[in-house]
Structure 1
């Protein structure tokens, strides 16, 4: 009974095995049909040699190969599982010819197209870079092209495979990549025209239009890949792009120049220094005029150079504003410079009360000048001065009034010099000081030596009202025969001093000659100034020499002269 049960059980197991085998066989057949369909689809859509000629088809082919490779990998796993089941039930290992053909074909194509895939992967890394960053690093693209140029030279088709088609495909793919590299090299020199460092937003829009980029393209999102996609337009519109860059660069230069002017206008200020007037009041006046005129002149030259640009028209209105400002500043500052110099020269004179008839004129200019300088001190920026209305006319009027004051002053000085010509020996400032302080002993002493070559100083009486004598540089005092009264009419008493100087020296010379006759051949040098003693001795020597020549007594005269010389050398002078 046990044996019959076992036989029955074995028979049941065999029936189930047969059923499983049939199930496995059915699954195999289904899988084989699926593989056949895969093969047919692959044969229909697999990459062709002619696909290498089109970049878009190359990319599509690469995607197809990658997708099919994943699909075949899944089918190969199922194949291994079916083979394992066949072996488990002792069935003859089935054939998967269709799947193996597709797998081998994909492997071969991948070997051929793998070079292009590697090339594309490296290229994609570059094309993802944003253009603003990458435009200064285009040398990386040149290096990429050079590296692949060398790599293609090193890649040679495998000759011993026995498959001519694979060799041909590899060669065709290398040619395809080489052609693409050559095409890229044609536009690499032209990339400088799309770098766009100098382009304004409007210029970028025009660039996008030339390159036929999609509407809505933004510079912030522009990539190197976008630029490469537009390489046909870059090549065909190179001259137009060059002209756009030249125009943009010129406009950028003009824009930067105007910006520089704006920055200068915001920062340029007057340099001021204190001036103390005759009333000991401080007023701030301008210094470093040369620097101011240099800055304004440079800016005017800059504006003038911008006019030579053919693209100046777009900035003409803004440039004219600065041209007008600088013109006003140049004119006003040159006038103000003359006014300040005249003011500093005339203020001490009029401040002491000189020229009463011109005082009201000068006081008016003085008031206006102080107001202008006060305004400059409170707002020291140069452009603020250019914004003041009617400043030019006011400054011209002030300069004219100061010119009238100076003319009146010059006429006064010329009148004084015509009265006392020795005033020509001194400058206007010294003469004005003498005229203004005609009775000040200190001032008189400091200027007399400039007017009289032999007078180093004079001797005053105790009240400083009269001049009693004159002194030489060596300190010799020559008392005047008639004392000179000091009055406010300085030219008059100086004329009297000159006349009295001559009269006094004449009298001293006559007295010295008379005294020398008392002591024959000898002038009492201790009694007279050295100048008079020398002159008197010269006169005596001449008279005696003439007499000795007439009488033939030169030898005796020579002995007498030696005796006189010995007496002079023995005189003690204190």
Structure 2
């Protein structure tokens, strides 16, 4: 083989030299202007040599490989590589045999055939190679193999494949195959277990310093990374535990599974404690809250100390596996969670007490309410939340002496209160002075309504409406409209309301002239809302005229919304504003609603007024319901 291979190499070298010389000749022929020669014989010789080159290269390679496989150290052989190389050479031998036979060259064809035959003969030993060179074989497997073959076998460099064949080891192939398959499966489980450990090795606790608290919190990225690994590895460990090949390292698998389940519980509890701690930490950072909730504050302080110690340990250790294996960590977190639940319950009970004392606090979220309660020394901190508790009050006006002297709406309309409110008297109890604000608001609006009623007859209508809050203007206009229509019907019947209709036309002209003039923004807001109500009331009177209404107790008049100042049945000798519609009788609530705009009043609006007022009169509730665009808002 070596002789033929060297001859082939010599021929290839000669051909290469000839190709070089031929190229030189072509260059000279071109310089002389001749047509370059083709050298057909040279090309033909190279092409004919090519299959022989492939053949003897294959023979040479197989000879060397077979020597290494059969006589070299058995356990340095890689079965997969041998299998692939042998199959590749066998395919080349078959192709070369077919090529030479088609060219009617029996001698080289027989050489290729011989290589194929030798390869087939060697491949019969491949199962033995796979069985003995399995990387998963451990000492326990070699003990089983030794028992099966009847003599001691181990990973010794003295063993060669030819020696093993001569020792008739192949006669025990079935037993060897079973041992090797078992070792391969065990090796797969062992590799998976090692891979799981390696994947956890680089996982660190990624901590972030939390504001100016001097401690840390766990980043969400760490939780996501750990949760993904835990979900995957718990399934893998439980699958491995149920495998029939897990016995050799069942202790490791059980230990890994227990750690994963414990870590999952630790992280769930850690995130729960962190979430509540983040919520409560700024709350109990307020001296006012600490003073009002001393028991819960003491308990939270204890939890806070444990939390800071835990985070410091995590910061120093960093490695996720090391941190989660800390002694007593889960018990600490569970204890913290129980304490925080107690603190939260106490906090919720505390907030409930405040809400029951001042029910409008139910309109505020816990965070908003806590913000108010944590700054009891500064009553002005309530202002950003006033709109949530009082529909019409944007803020309260505090004077330098700390007292409240006025209510301010979103439209910047200011209404001075009848009695100044002094929050300092409540000694930090926000709910107490807010209850006082609520009562003062009702008293103030009632007082302004009654004052405006007295002032109405003493001024020109357009002058009068400039002097009073928008809400009061609309209420008192409704009162005098009711009074005038009732008087007209009572005194002159239909003719009387015809004359009153003309009066309304003149008043509307005055309002239009006022709108066209240069007036303050607040007066313009009042007029915009008043015009909507005024036009509706004028249209109502015109409709009564058209329908020929003559009497004050006619149904068409009774179904309109009418305002009266009468003696309050619940407070004898006190005059109050009331609303009547059909047989419903409701007291004016005196809730300040600011100088808000009004939507156009439609017949559907009137029907809603009647229905809602009737329901409230009967101590029921009412809420418009229906498809979109049908007038619920109006």
TM-score range for the pair, normalised by the shorter chain length: 0.5 to 0.7
Q: Shift of residue 399 of structure 1?
A: 1.7
- Deviation for aligned residue 1:561: 1.3
TM-score of the two chains, using structure 1 as the length reference: 0.67
Corresponding position: 1:471 with 2:408: yes
Q: List aligned pairs for 1:248-327, cutoff 5 A.
A: 248-276=183-211, 280-288=212-220, 289-327=223-261
Report how far residue 388 of structure 1 moved: 2.4
Report the counterpart of residue 161 of structure 1 in structure 2.
Answer: none
**Residues 241 and 253 in structure 2, CA contact (< 8 A), matched pair in contact too:** no
2: CA distance between counterparts of 1:239 and 1:536? 109
2:80 — aligned with what?
135
Which structure dedicates a bigger proportion of its chain to helix? 1
Q: 1:218 to 1:565 in 2, by over 3 A?
A: same
CA contact 1:203–1:244 (8 Å) conserved in 2: no
> RMSD in angstroms over aligned alpha carbons?
4.1
What secondary structure sits across from 1:341 in the alignment?
helix
Q: TM-score w.r.t. structure 2 length?
A: 0.61
Q: Which string of whole-angstrom CA distances, capped at 9 and with x for unpartnered residues, describes residues 87-129 of structure 1?
A: xxxxxxxxxxxxxxxxxxxxxxxxxxxxxx9998664322134
Q: Deviations over 1:338-366 (max 9, x none)?
A: 22222222222222232123332222222
Aligned partners of 1:135 and 1:195 also within 8 Å: no
Q: Deviations over 1:135-190 (max 9, x none)?
A: 3253432344345556667889xxxxxxxxxx9xxx999999887666556666x5
The separation in 2 between residues aligned to 1:208 and 1:155, in whole angstroms, is: 46
Q: Partners of 2:448 and 2:270 in 1: how far apart?
A: 58
Residue 383 of structure 2 is aligned to residue 449 of structure 1: no
Whole-angstrom CA distance in 2 between matches of 1:563 and 1:222: 124
Taking a change above 3 Å as real, the CA distance of residues 454 and 177 of structure 1, as seen in their structure-2 partners, is: closer
Between the aligned partners of 1:508 and 1:136, the Cα distance in structure 2 is 101
After superposition, where does 1:426-505 map in structure 2 within 5 Å?
A: 426-463=364-401, 465-486=402-423, 487=426, 488-505=428-445
Q: d(CA) in 2 for partners of 1:270 and 1:175? A: 65
- Residues of 1 paired with 2:321 and 2:372: CA distance? 43
Q: Show the counterpart of 1:404.
A: 342
Give the drift of 1:477.
0.5
1:483 & 1:522 partners in 2: Cα distance? Answer: 31
Cα 1:225/1:479, change in 2 over 3 Å: farther
Change (3 A) 1:263 1:496: same
Greater shift in the superposed pair: 513-522 or 408-417: 513-522
1:145 matched to 2:90? The reply is yes
Distance 1:568 1:138, change over 3 A: same
How far the C-alpha of 1:451 sits from its partner, in A, is: 1.3
Would the aligned equivalents of 1:335 and 1:396 in 2 still touch at CA under 8 Å?
yes
* In the alignment, structure 1 residue 423 sits paired with structure 2 residue 361: yes
* Structure 1 residue 410: Cα displacement: 0.9
Distance 1:556 1:297, change over 3 A: same
Cα deviation, 1:236-267, whole Å, max 9, x if unaligned, reads: 76665554454333323322222123223432
The answer as to whether partners of 1:128 and 1:224 remain within 8 angstroms in 2 is no
> 2-side partners of 1:352 and 1:331: how far apart?
32
Q: 1:508 to 1:491 in 2, by over 3 A?
A: same
Distance change >3 Å, CA 127–CA 534, structure 1 → 2: same
Correspondence 1:552 to 2:494: yes
Cα–Cα, structure 1 residues 511 and 140, in superposed 2: closer, same or farther, change >3 Å? same
> How do 1:142-541 and structure 2 match up within 5 A?
142-149=87-94, 183=121, 190=127, 193-194=130-131, 196=133, 198-202=135-139, 205=142, 218=155, 229=165, 240=175, 243-276=178-211, 280-288=212-220, 289-353=223-287, 354=289, 355-463=293-401, 465-486=402-423, 487=426, 488-519=428-459, 524-541=464-481
Gaps of 5+ in 2: 1-55, 70-75, 521-634
How many Å separate the matches in 1 of 2:285 and 2:482?
58
Moved more, 357-366 or 518-527: 518-527
Structure 1 residues 358, 141: closer, same or farther in 2, change over 3 A? closer
Deviation at 1:527, TM superposition (A): 0.7
Q: Is the 8 A contact 1:126 1:225 kept in 2?
A: no
| Bigger Rg, structure 1 or 2 | 1
SS at match of 1:372: helix
Task: Confirm whether residue 563 of structure 1 aligns to residue 506 of structure 2.
Answer: yes
Output the CA distance in 1 between the equivalents of 2:407 and 2:129: 90
C-alpha separation in 2, matches of 1:245 and 1:316: 20
- Structure 1 stretches lacking a partner, 5+ long: 1-116, 157-166
Secondary structure of 2:334 counterpart: helix
Check conservation: 2:269, 2:337, Cα contact below 8 A. yes
Aligned to 2:43: none
Whole-angstrom distance in 1 between the partners of 2:277 and 2:431: 26
Shift in alpha-carbon separation, 1:516–1:243, aligned structure 2, 3 A:
farther
Q: Does the residue aligned with 2:299 lie in a helix, a strand or coil?
A: helix
Distance in 1 (CA, whole Å) between partners of 2:271 and 2:119 is 69
The whole-number CA distance in structure 2 between the counterparts of 1:467 and 1:143 is 98
CA distance in 1, matches of 2:257, 2:111: 65
Deviation at 1:392, TM superposition (A): 2.4
Q: Does 1:573 align with 2:511?
A: no
**What displacement does 1:475 show?**
0.6
- CA distance 1:141–1:434, shift in 2 (3 Å): same
Whole-Å separation in 1 of the counterparts to 2:484 and 2:226:
75
Equivalent residues of 2:79, 2:133 under 8 A apart: no
Number of paired residues? 443
**CA 1:282 to 1:503, structure 2 compared with 1: closer, same or farther past 3 Å?**
same
The answer to whether the 8 Å contact 2:303/2:336 transfers is yes
Cα deviation code 1:409-449 (max 9, x no counterpart): 11110111111111111111111111121242441111112
* Residue 301 of structure 1, CA deviation: 2.1
Distance in 1, Cα, partners of 2:487 & 2:172:
117
